[in-house]
Amino acid sequence: MAAKGLTQTSSIVAVGFKAREAIPNTFIQAQSDLNLSPLDREVFVCLAIDMTPYPPDALAGTDTKVAASFSVTSRDTVGDLDENNVLAITESHIKAAGFLDSGVGFQTAGMETPPANLPYIGIIATSDFFVQVKGSGNLGTKGVSGKLYGYRARASSDIFAALVQGQALSS
């Protein structure tokens, strides 16, 4: 079922993505192009996003983390779900500060796939999406990989203009 004001033009597709730090504990962003046609007012309706962070290093006495986000606009930091341009987040932690062993691992997922009664979780109107990742306390480089599930659709003129403007304002 297509969202109101949109006409679905493809079946559901899965688009893979990944981002990896070049230097440990340094922010990196990867950009992926969905090759949408703005002349045809083509958008991508996101149904679900599945993200898997690389495991953080297990270091005695040191807290380590890998945090990642998926956004519809470029960012300078890993995002949070309270930001309009962020559709998904994930974090993996090892809490070891004060321990002589490698600590205890935790994973936090920001509703990569929300309840099935939602018709979609977001709409990408400007062709590109972005994935951000940053480790903390790790000795090696970390990253994230995942899949975006959704379909292509054609928007009415007014809906397309509103979606593009909304994405531009949320960056």
Q: What single-letter amino acid sits at 171?
A: S
Number of domains observed in the structure of the chain: 1
User: Do 103 and 93 touch, CB atoms closer than 8 A?
Assistant: no
For residue 54, what are the domain limits? Answer: 6-169
Q: Is residue 65 part of a domain?
A: yes
What is the domain-level CATH number for residue 70?
A: 2.60.120
151: nearest Cα among 51, 7, 38 = 7
Helix (H) or strand (E) holding 163: helix 157-169
From first to last of its 171 residues, the chain has per-residue pLDDT tens of 567 789 999 999 999 999 999 999 999 999 999 999 999 999 999 999 999 999 999 888 888 999 999 999 999 999 998 998 999 999 988 877 766 655 565 656 555 555 566 788 899 998 899 999 999 999 999 999 999 999 999 999 888 888 888 877 666
What's the one-letter identity of residue 1?
M
77, part of any domain: yes
Is residue 1 in some structural domain? Answer: no
Model confidence, pTM? 0.87
Q: Please check whether residue 97 lies inside any domain of the structure.
A: yes
Query: Could you give the C-alpha distances from 14 to 5, 9, 39, 50, 106, in angstroms and in order?
Result: 23, 15, 23, 10, 28
Residue 85 in domain:
yes
- Does residue 72 lie in a domain region? yes
